[in-house]
Amino acid sequence: MAHGPNVPNQQYKNLVEEIYIVQELLDLAITDPDDTRTIVGDIKELFTIEAEILDMQDSGDWRGDDPEEIMSNAQILRTQLPGHLRMIADSLDPDIAPDFDFPDPGTREWYGILLYVTLLDEFSRPVEFPPNPTIDASPAQDSGSTDNAQPEDNGPECEICAEKYEDGDRDVSFPCHSAHRMCFSCLMNLVSLSLSTSCPYCRQIPFAETQS
């Protein structure tokens, strides 16, 4: 059965899941929420360099640089990066054993991964929790009252799947609006479904100009 142009291949789906799993483990291991996000940041750096090379190839303008040197350096980074990321994954959980098999530059899968890691790197933040409620000094309400809600019932949750966030969790927004947010798991599922990822709130395709 033929697949449509937006249907991702298994290599792509595996990579999306690997990035999600390893980055989540790394986030849990890092105490500083503002620290550099190594996994998605390193992949984005490589893909951004490759995007610049594609742009220079299309325009024929190498900005005074040596084309062979630029492409050689990018290829070295592409060759070395998967091994570096696998070492990080192994230090977090030896049972993960990710491949980090990157798609070829310029393919739709490649653009999909670039979008994915850009969202995770540039549009992610720690989830904000409301302050602890002040203990009410008034007499306790009847235990059977429906108004006697537990504090955790009012905690933040993902607007897509309604899963409650835990302290230390991060979420991610789309660039169309800072309120268009979701948990990492929902973003992973969304990106895995199609190579044409759009915001689930407004259907705007992020960074569409880079994929033209």
Provide the domain limits for residue 174. Answer: 10-125+153-211
Distance CA 117, CA 123 (A): 10
155: left (phi over 0), alpha (psi -120 to 50) or beta: beta
User: For 173-204, how does the pLDDT look when each residue is reduced to its tens digit (9 = 90+)?
Assistant: 999 999 999 999 999 999 999 999 999 999 99
pLDDT of residue 134: 53
The CA dihedral of 25, 28, 31, 37, to the nearest 10 degrees, is: 40
Please tell me the total count of domains within the chain: 1
Q: Residues 6 or more apart from 69 whose CB is under 8 A from it?
A: none
196 occurs within a structural domain? yes
111 occurs within a structural domain? yes
65: left (phi over 0), alpha (psi -120 to 50) or beta: beta
139 occurs within a structural domain? no
Model pTM score: 0.84
pLDDT of residue 102: 98
61 occurs within a structural domain? yes
Of 133 and 146, the one with more pLDDT: 133
pLDDT at 94 over 50: yes
Average pLDDT of the chain is 87
Sheet holding 124-126, edge to edge: 124-126, 170-174, 177-183
- Supply angle C-alpha 79, 84, 88, rounded to 5: 155
Of 79 and 139, the one with more pLDDT: 79
For residue 1, name the pLDDT band (cuts at 50, 70, 90): very low
Query: Are the beta carbons of 16 and 194 closer than 8 angstroms?
Result: no
Q: Residues 6 or more apart from 166 whose CB is under 8 A from it?
A: none
134 occurs within a structural domain? no
30 occurs within a structural domain? yes
pLDDT at 7 over 70: yes
pLDDT of residue 60: 87
Distance CA 191, CA 169 (A): 20
Average pLDDT over residues 79-102: 96
162 occurs within a structural domain? yes
Average pLDDT over residues 119-146: 69
User: For 50-77, how does the pLDDT look when each residue is reduced to its tens digit (9 = 90+)?
Assistant: 999 999 999 888 888 888 999 999 999 9
pLDDT of residue 136: 47
59 occurs within a structural domain? yes
